Amino acid sequence: MTTTTPSAASRDADFAALPRLMSLMTGDEKHGPAATSTLDALWVLYDRVLRVSPATAQDPDRDRFLLSKGHGPMAYYAVLAAKGFFPAAWLPGFGSYDSPLGHHPDRLLVPGAEIGSGSLGHGLPLAVGTALGLRAQGRTGPAVWVLVGDAELDEGSNHEALAYAGAAGLSRLHTLVVDNSSSTHGWRGGIASRFEAAGWSATTVDGRDHEALYAAFTAPHPDRPHAVVARVEPKEYSGEPKPKAS
């Protein structure tokens, strides 16, 4: 499976359209900061890294992306709409009774969604299971990505999953931690140190810097799972997402 790499100018123009798409989603329970914190990282993944598209969304050899931070899906929906997984006309109905775009994504309703999510602590264990399943099938090409929030690392299920993944050498597994300083406990030495202690490759980058994100996403990590910690504004930040040059 191959993808076409867009030009830098095209990437900038497409990313600049995302705030407009996000503005179409209104109503209560938007979890705005939870959504805007993920926007840049999600865009770089879908625009330049993940080998999946509307045409290949059912291909067994596609890359898998699992949104564990499903309680703030607005940026996810905007990126999926921008990439053609579903019409942008669906966005104004976000969270309404008859809309497929719920406050938590539903894999049976949202084209391109791999899991139903929103309850903290589920995504990474599901990603570990997905990577194990692909390995058992002999499918060594697909990458598995999961996006978690830093607060999710307060959940014990994640620590069991990351400890197992490191010991099992799940090299096709990647965890993106969007760190908006909302965790209760934090980690001495930083979040990346927790993954490294469990045998992962890990790096920390500016979560608004597209080139730094891309370099971290594509860094080699032979025989080990890989974690990217994307640091963004603290959770109290409530401004609009600001396009940043790639």
List pLDDT tens digits, range 172-183. 999 999 998 888
| pLDDT per residue rounded down to tens, the chain (246 residues) | 655 555 565 676 789 889 999 999 986 655 566 678 999 999 999 999 999 999 999 999 999 999 998 888 999 999 999 999 999 999 999 999 999 999 999 999 999 999 998 777 799 999 999 999 999 999 999 999 999 999 888 888 999 999 999 999 999 999 999 998 888 777 778 999 999 999 999 999 999 999 999 999 999 999 999 999 999 988 664 444 444 443
Instruction: Output the pLDDT for position 204.
Output: 97
List pLDDT tens digits, range 201-216. 999 999 999 999 999 9
Instruction: Output the pLDDT for position 5.
Output: 56
Q: Rg of the chain's alpha carbons, rounded to an integer?
A: 17
